[in-house]
Amino acid sequence: MTKRGLFILFEGADRVGKSTQVQSLTNHISNSRNLPTKSLRFPDRTTPIGQILNQYLQNSTNMDDRALHLLFSSNRWEAKDSILELLNSGTNIVVDRYSYSGVAYTAAKGIDVDWCYSCESGLPEPDIVFYLSMSTEDATKRGDYGGERYEKRPSWKVINANRTVEEVSNEINQIFDFEFESLQKKPIGTLK
């Protein structure tokens, strides 16, 4: 029987190196284990909802904060079935931003964190989250980022991203290799 794929998530501030590390880990998984691996990113600007988000992000068109939040969240919900299909068919996914970005960006505007997070409840849960941090100060503040309750189920790894691309990817590969088999045995989780 095919084993399920893993859902690996990268979070962190802009320009911290997420896209580079997503690509690097995707290559590492395909090459070292010869397993199907796909990278995804949110927002997914290719869908109709994603195009609205893209317009907002590019032109800073005005939108109500909650309406915007719901669109970012819908953009994940519309990917839910394909995410589950990929995982169930044995494809690993390496994802650039997800629900924690959604909560962090909207809550930073002063909107209730629980309201923000409630839209995410029921989505597939990442198996492991690599939080790329540029300073140790950020790392200790990560409660502000996703909030402690969100860190309980998936395994959060705070990675010091203030190093060379290779140093960062070596650490990520090591963690991934160490956790891979035990994570694969767990059923796919759901955000609570």
Residues that bind ligand FDM (CB under 6 A): 14, 42-43, 57, 72, 97, 101-102, 105
- If the CB atoms of residues 72 and 145 are measured against ligand FDM, the closer one turns out to be 72
Smallest gap from residue 14 Cβ to Mg ion (A):
5
- CA-to-CA distance for 83 and 87, rounded, in angstroms? 6
- If the CB atoms of residues 5 and 17 are measured against Mg ion, the closer one turns out to be 17
Q: Is 187 exposed, middle or buried (0-12, 13-18, 19+ CB in 10 A)?
A: exposed
Smallest gap from residue 18 Cβ to Mg ion (A):
8
> Which is nearest to 82 in space by CA: 45, 42, 111, 124?
124
- If the CB atoms of residues 42 and 180 are measured against ligand FDM, the closer one turns out to be 42
Are the beta carbons of 89 and 2 closer than 8 angstroms? yes
Q: Give the helix/strand (H/E) hosting 132.
A: strand 128-133
Site residues for Mg ion per CB under 5 A: 14
Smallest gap from residue 85 Cβ to ligand FDM (A):
21
- DSSP state at residue 150: G
Measure the N-to-C terminal CA separation of the chain; round to a whole number of Å: 29
Q: Identify what 57 binds: Mg ion, ligand FDM, none; CB under 5 to 8 Å per kind.
A: ligand FDM
Smallest gap from residue 190 Cβ to ligand FDM (A):
18
Smallest gap from residue 71 Cβ to ligand FDM (A):
9
Task: Measure Cα distances from 25 to 32, 103, 168 in Å.
Answer: 10, 25, 11
**Position with the least CB separation from ligand FDM:** 102
- If the CB atoms of residues 79 and 158 are measured against ligand FDM, the closer one turns out to be 79
Q: Identify what 102 binds: ligand FDM, Mg ion, none; CB under 5 to 8 Å per kind.
A: ligand FDM
Are the beta carbons of 65 and 106 closer than 8 angstroms? yes
